[in-house]
Structure 1
Amino acid sequence: MGRVACGSAGLLALALLAACSGSGAGGAGSKPVAMAGGARGASVGFSPADKAAGVPTDQTVLVSAHGGKLKSVQVDGGKAGSLDGVLSADGTRWRSVGTARPGAAYTVTAVAVDAAGKESESRSTFSTVKGGKTFDIENLTPNRDDTGLTVGVGMPVMITFDQPIADRVAVERNLLIHSSKPVEGAWHWFDSTHVDFRPQTYWPAHTKVRVEANLAGVRGGPGMHGKRDVKLDFKIGRSQITKGSTDDHVLTVRRDGKRIRTMLMSAGQGGQWKYYTTSGVHLAMSREPVTVMVSPGIGPGSAGYYRLTVYNTVRISNSGEYVHSAPWSVGSQGNSNVSHGCVNISPGNAAWFIKNTLIGDPIIITGSPRKLEPTNGWGHWQENWKQWLKWSSLKASPTITLP
């Protein structure tokens, strides 16, 4: 995510520093500040300048008082709504926060007070670049349907857009993560429609998280702007990490550092069809009471074909890997690998595991010659921090502390 200071005081400090720069050379932001006000009272400067047209939606509105202080500033866009802002500690500078709407006309009204206490009102108008195509968030994970919004310590924030994003910097700097405990994290673009956030290390247990996608009016590419703002609140549950080895044939579950259950397991048998369970840091992706599993790429009547109805399954990849009940392999669990790539455990253990697993819980498997790919399901933790940052437009930053 973009560089964001921890805490409101730091945020204000960054805001005032940002007021020193425009939105880019050649645009409305490059014009000088226009001054208004009487000769005797405080004078007020505006940027964009009065009657400026084609102003980029992400350009900051700046208001400054000379010979006095600002008492109030309002930026009214009619049906497009208003823009909020922050005032400097000395009362002489104001800057907007958020993004204007495309194709809208705004009126800036500022009331200043001079040294003698005399008030004066000044106004300026500007219009933003015309609107065109819009983009929206097609999917935001975690979501209430899948998780109940309490998730495991490995849970990433995943956003899918309905249009390809060309201006990734503009979009990413408007994706904010707030948390109740300090976390260092970053966004990662997997492609032009898919950006995810994860911390450098697992989330602290029992952390409250808020996602703010402040995208209304944000430029996503030439002639394309964000359709709306989206917010999501969720919680991190207890820390539960499951580890298993295809060599030792045992799964161990630790909750908040304490071992709470040991389960015998059987993993992928390998062989002719290369039915290997992948090694790596998996995340619990779904909990399914019943799953029908079919052999990948092998049809009915062919050697190696199977179609099984399986119970109490926890999905751990997109390539069809689950931790699930396997009464037929109980005799092999704990001593050999006989599965088609899933992690087989007993019916009793599977019933316990699905009940005690949260979406986003890490499930770490070692010993297999096949590695989990970062794009195979939620394989986000397969990339080290340096690799993760490589595909971030704004690199790492601390989350904003929740009030």
Structure 2
Amino acid sequence: MGTIPPSAPGRFGMALAALALAATACTSAGGGDDPGGSGSEAAVLTIAPEAGAEAVAPNTPVTVTAENGTISEVTVDQVVPGQAEDEASPFEMTGTLSEDGTAWTADWNLAPGADVTVTATAENADGEPTELVHEFTTEAAVEGQRLELSHNFPTSGETVGVGMPITIGFDLPVTEKTAVENSLKVVSEQGVAGSWRWLDDKTVVFRPETYWEPYQQVSVEMHLAGVRAAEGVYGVRDHRLEFEIGRELRMDMNVPDHEMVVTVDGEEVRTIPVSNGDGTSNFSTTSSGTHVLMERYETLLMDSDTVELPAGRNGYSTTVQYAVRTSNSGEFVHEASYNGNIGSANTSNGCTNLRMDDARWFFENTLMGDVLETTGTDRVKEWDNGWGYWQPSWDEWLAESATGEPQVTDGSNPPGSPFGAQDGGTDEE
């Protein structure tokens, strides 16, 4: 669906207050004869859904058409009775206007259980306005079938590294993935192509084609209210996520060299001696590939009972400091003062061991989302092991999107429709 930038003519927002106007018939013409005697016909408007409709499916698109004129304004006001103020949508309803100005379609779904007022205005050739108002209600989401956001990474207000993926989790399975993807809009100050990929029926991840440019703001508009996620299941709330991409800190580590080189904005700032996995098994081999820094702990018990330790290897239980996770299979960068081979030999169980002063510096100066590129081992990091989302090529990543098309983060809308299936069908092939 084509879009018109918010600042251009033809892009209209939702009124913040309900308009106290009575509903009219499905079409409306301007009033009275032309006092100037020009003979121009009054504009005629049509709005769907029809006035007075009840329990309209939330994923029904609002449309406005005009004859004998062009549309000059459309507002969509939605009030959900009993909804708390902090649950109200942070977004105005926007829409896309046809090139000739005679057809307008809402960009997003309607809130479930809402009282909706659509007010449209069109002007004829002489600039005389015609106004039409429709009021109707939408179907409420059924208890137990109300799609909610369960988690997201990062969270609002965080500053993250240039490799940071965006992860959105839901509390119910999503089968109509195309509609949900097209309800998630990523906007960055420096627009790039990116794409979503589903890890499972409840989790979807966005990454750009290349690493984020540093020093910029990123937002995610989650237009989830009214999206049909599965048969009978509708999203109930919109959400907005805002975070910042910080400086470009990257780390390169060739395992046989026993050192990690850290650069910030392209300038080398520190070389850190390390000891990696001894390589006697796949488990104890530090994985090669692109690692994205994840969660961190000032103190952490490293316990072999929490990982699938291969038979024949001795278990361990050791408390370490300044631990930063790089995978879900047990790999961390952490302090290991007990390891006398740091900088000279690889003798760990697969983690990257650092001396205390380097570990503290690493912990204090890195961010979630910073990138660690590791080479030199025969164990390749799996794309779904932690945040290994840079392991697939861009084409491989994009091919797994439900839409099959990139989403550009320059403020334009997602590449397809968020309305999904109508009348009990499905939008999935």
Q: Report the TM-score, using the length of structure 1 for normalisation.
A: 0.83
One-letter code aligned to 1:289:
E
Q: Alpha carbons of 1:206 and 1:47: their partners in 2 closer, same or farther (altered >3 Å)?
A: same
Higher helix share: 1
- Worse-matched range after superposition: 353-362 or 107-116: 107-116
Measured after TM superposition, the shift of residue 320 of structure 1 is 1.4
Gaps of 5+ in 2: 13-24, 32-40, 82-87, 413-429
1:92-171 aligned at under 5 Å gives the runs 92-115=102-125, 118-129=128-139, 131-132=141-142, 133-143=145-155, 149-171=158-180
Deviations 1:220-247 (A, max 9, x none): 1111110211111111111111011221
Q: What's the secondary structure of 1:380's corresponding residue? A: coil
Q: Alpha carbons of 1:235 and 1:42: their partners in 2 closer, same or farther (altered >3 Å)?
A: same
On the 8 A contact 1:181/1:401 being kept in 2, the answer is no
1:306 aligns with 2:316: yes
Q: What's the secondary structure of 1:350's corresponding residue? A: helix
Distance in 2, Cα, partners of 1:396 & 1:73:
29
1:72-87 aligned at under 5 Å gives the runs 72-79=73-80, 83-85=93-95
1:329-368 aligned at under 5 Å gives the runs 329-330=339-340, 332-368=341-377
Matched with 2:58 is 57
Distance in 1, Cα, partners of 2:199 & 2:106:
32
On the 8 A contact 1:281/1:364 being kept in 2, the answer is yes
1:3-402 aligned at under 5 Å gives the runs 8=6, 35-37=27-29, 41-50=42-51, 55-79=56-80, 83-85=93-95, 92-115=102-125, 118-129=128-139, 131-132=141-142, 133-143=145-155, 149-271=158-280, 274-296=283-305, 304-330=314-340, 332-394=341-403, 395-401=405-411
Q: What's the secondary structure of 1:329's corresponding residue? A: coil
On the 8 A contact 2:193/2:408 being kept in 1, the answer is yes
Identity %: 37
Deviations 1:70-94 (A, max 9, x none): 4544444443688554656765443
On the 8 A contact 2:147/2:229 being kept in 1, the answer is yes
Q: Alpha carbons of 1:155 and 1:116: their partners in 2 closer, same or farther (altered >3 Å)?
A: closer
Measured after TM superposition, the shift of residue 349 of structure 1 is 1.0
Deviations 1:194-225 (A, max 9, x none): 10000111001112100111101111111111
Distance in 2, Cα, partners of 1:283 & 1:83:
36
Distance in 2, Cα, partners of 1:37 & 1:92:
14
Deviations 1:156-187 (A, max 9, x none): 00011100001101110010100011211111
Distance in 1, Cα, partners of 2:70 & 2:380:
62
Q: Alpha carbons of 1:397 and 1:329: their partners in 2 closer, same or farther (altered >3 Å)?
A: same
- Worse-matched range after superposition: 41-50 or 169-178: 41-50
Measured after TM superposition, the shift of residue 284 of structure 1 is 0.8
Gaps of 5+ in 1: 16-32
Distance in 1, Cα, partners of 2:139 & 2:216:
40
Higher strand share: 1
Measured after TM superposition, the shift of residue 4 of structure 1 is 7.9
Measured after TM superposition, the shift of residue 100 of structure 1 is 0.9
Q: Alpha carbons of 1:38 and 1:245: their partners in 2 closer, same or farther (altered >3 Å)?
A: closer
On the 8 A contact 1:4/1:400 being kept in 2, the answer is no
CA RMSD in angstroms, aligned pairs only: 3.0
One-letter code aligned to 2:383:
P
Distance in 1, Cα, partners of 2:184 & 2:282:
43
Q: Alpha carbons of 1:69 and 1:199: their partners in 2 closer, same or farther (altered >3 Å)?
A: closer
On the 8 A contact 2:4/2:97 being kept in 1, the answer is no
Measured after TM superposition, the shift of residue 52 of structure 1 is 5.1
- Worse-matched range after superposition: 365-374 or 114-123: 114-123
